[in-house]
Amino acid sequence: MKTRSYITTTIPYVNAAPHIGFALELAQADATTRRHRAVGHSTRLQTGTDENAFKNVEAAAAAGTRPLDWVDARSAQFRQLADHIQVGYDRFIRTTEEAHVRGVHQFWRSWRPEDIFQKDYSGLYCSGCEDFLFPQDLVDGRCPDHQVIPVEVAETNYFFRLSAYQEPLERWLSSEAVKIRPEWRRVEILAFVRAGLQDISISRPATRSGGWGVAVPGDDSQVIYVWIDALINYLTGLGYGTDNRWREWWNDDTQKIHVLGKNVWKFHAVYWPALLLSGGLPLPDELAIHGFLTIDGRKIGKSLGNAVSPDDFIQRYGPDAVRYFLLRAVPQFGDGDFSADRFAAIYEANLANGLGNLVSRLFTLAARSGLESGPDLAEASAQGSTFDLDGPHDEALAAIWTQIDQLNRELEKAKPWVALRQGSTAPVREQIAGWLGQLSHIARQIGPYLPSTSREILARLGAGHLQPVAPLFPRI
């Protein structure tokens, strides 16, 4: 098993403020990173923003500002979101960075010359996807993700000979060389590849974006197609194009994991590996493909007009509560519905009345019994918390909350407060210490998911004389 891990999120367009749908991906990638670190892996996490999209230019024009000013402001919002929900990224990359542009140019030049050619092209273009769609991709003539009718576009572009990689990609996707989670997505991806790969357009006329974007090396009349430019961030964020540091993480000894949404697997499972093969570089090891956060069953999205800002929920309930909802109430590999009422109900039941109530009761009981933190509790805190790197986050949290519910039931059954009221302190002190040992184990288990809550519980357990504590999750 590889003991080094490089984990990435996709990088979102910055044509609008971040919504809670991207917070889902951030939380999943961060929890995966923390699980890998918890088992001793040397692990790197990267996220960032995709700033070269034409839709960013359109958003800036609508706001009456320069594209660079627009992406500066919006990128800062995405970084702030990652910070607010405690994403422990090692690199936040922006695709307008000079180092990224330099690396994109170097990667372009590394491709086999026979893989790049120019031709005239016409097709159905969805501005929301920033991608050409095939007629079979449409539902009732519309893009299924953005509910718009694609427009016919005719232009001369550079192309990548994707068709040359049909057999290598099929072999790779059929092998154990790549882990695809959930496994059933492999069938879907292989069906797409086996249907026959067509060569893909990898540039756009610079006139369309007013020159915004990464120019094709040696041809300023074209800019590199934003999705191609964006994928290369997984290398440039490591230093590709600047120095050789990238080789420390993009190699055969590192588990390279891409966390991505189900609507972009074509780019990560087909286009990206083909580009890497052309450039002679190792392929990803794992694709973790999550579903959508929905409202009334419909995907949340900026272009769909139903985006929900995570800021209000972070400020009202706290970052760990937001992380808990995203990681427990939403299946890691499926869709999950979001509403303010559902959020509040889960917060009240599982956090305020569940974990929060358990912590408050145990520390109050410990204080009343005169219990002090000692070697037994310290040892319990360090014992045997294990993390299954393949288990879905929601299932892992469900198992932890089963322990929390069981411990709460034990307290209700034992009623130690009755014995304490009657002055029978010594007999229950050992029992309370045992419960606190279980709590310390739980605190370590929730570390990847609720990091600040985990730290706070463990810090209070190690504080010497145990005192009653303010609620971790106050009732709203």
Distance CA 387, CA 38 (A): 7
Task: Answer yes or no: is 234 within a domain.
Answer: yes
For residues 289 and 360, state if they share a domain.
no
In a domain, 324, yes or no: no
Whether residue 288 lies inside any domain: the answer is yes
DSSP H or E stretch at residue 152 = strand 151-160
* % the chain with pLDDT above 90: 77
> What does the H/E/C string look like for 155-193?
EEEEEECHHHHHHHHHHHHHCCCCEEECCHHHHHHHHHH
N- to C-terminal Cα separation, the chain: 45
Q: Does the residue 311 lie in any domain?
A: no
Cα angle for residues 69, 74, 78 (degrees, 5° grid): 150
Structure token digits, residue 288 = 């973790």
Contact yes or no for 92/82 (Cβ under 8 A): yes
Contact of 44 with 70, CB cutoff 8 Å:
no
Distance CA 97, CA 270 (A): 26
Averaged pLDDT score across all residues of the chain: 92
Q: Residue 144's domain is classified under what CATH number?
A: 3.40.50.620
Residues 9 and 151 in one domain: yes
Beta bridge partners of 155: 121
Question: How high is the pLDDT of residue 384?
Answer: 47
Show the domain range for 124: 4-299
C-alpha 403/C-alpha 438 separation (Å) is 9
Q: Strand 219-224's sheet: what is its strand order?
A: 203-205, 219-224, 215-216
Spatial separation of the C-alpha atoms in residues 76 and 303, rounded to whole Å: 20
Rounded to whole angstroms, the Cα distance separating 454 from 157 reads 52
- Using DSSP, state whether 83 is helix, strand or coil: helix
Phi/psi at 350 (5° precision): -95, -30
Indicate the DSSP class of residue 297: T
Using the 8-state DSSP alphabet, how is residue 262 labeled?
A: G
Which of 44, 37, 34 has its CA nearest to residue 6?
A: 44
What is the enclosing helix (H) or strand (E) of 107?
Answer: helix 98-110
110/11 same-domain check: yes
pLDDT of residue 375: 46
Tell me what pLDDT residue 138 has. 79
Burial class for 476, CB neighbours closer than 10 Å (0-12, 13-18, 19+): exposed
Contacts of 293 (CB under 8 A, 6+ apart): 20, 21, 24, 299, 300, 326, 330, 335, 336, 337, 338
Q: Are 66 and 125 in contact (CB under 8 A)?
A: no
pLDDT at 125: 77
Q: Are residues 215 and 350 in the same domain?
A: no
Give CA torsion, residues 309, 310, 316, 322, to 10 deg: 150
The neighbouring-strand residues paired with 133 are 124
Q: Indicate the DSSP class of residue 353.
A: I
Residue 459: exposed, middle, or buried by beta-carbon count in 10 A (0-12, 13-18, 19+)? exposed
Same domain? For 234 and 376 the reply is no
What is residue 345's predicted lDDT score, i.e. its pLDDT? 97
What lies within 8 Å, CB to CB, of 393 at 6+ separation is 28, 31, 32, 327, 328, 332, 449
Nearest in space to 232 (alpha carbons), one of 99, 57, 399, 84 = 99
Q: Is residue 255 part of a domain?
A: yes
Instruction: Judge if 215 and 360 occupy the same domain.
Output: no
Fill in the amino acid letter for 252. Answer: D
Residue 466 domain-assigned (yes or no): no
Task: Assess if residue 470 is contained within a domain.
Answer: no
Q: Specify the number of domains making up the chain.
A: 2
Q: Which of 270, 299, 328 is the last residue of a domain?
A: 299
Residues of the chain with confidence (pLDDT) below 50: 375, 378, 381, 383-384
For residue 132, the surrounding DSSP H or E stretch is strand 131-133
- For 419-454, the pLDDT digits (tens) are 898 887 888 888 999 999 999 999 999 999 999 999
DSSP string over 2-46: --EEEEEE---B-SS---HHHHHHHHHHHHHHHHHHHTT-EEEEE
Q: Are residues 77 and 145 in the same domain?
A: yes
Give the pLDDT of residue 137: 75
pLDDT for residue 243: 96
pLDDT of residue 386: 65
Residues 343 and 270 in one domain: no
Does residue 92 sit in the same domain as residue 237?
A: yes
**End of a domain among 250, 274, 299?**
299
Q: Is residue 31 domain-shared with residue 122, that is, in the same domain?
A: yes
Nearest 10 degrees: Cα torsion 257, 330, 81, 62: 100
Question: Would you say 47 and 32 are in contact if contact means Cβ atoms under 8 Å apart?
Answer: no
- Round to whole Å and give the CA distance between 290 and 29: 10
Residues pairing with 222 in the sheet: 205
91 in the same domain as 173: yes
- Domain final residue, candidates 284, 299, 314: 299
| Cα 335 to chain centroid, rounded | 14
Same-domain status, 114 and 239: yes
CA nearest 343: which of 307, 377, 318?
318
Within-domain flag for 100: yes
Tell which residue, 463, 435, 457, has the closest CA to residue 444.
457
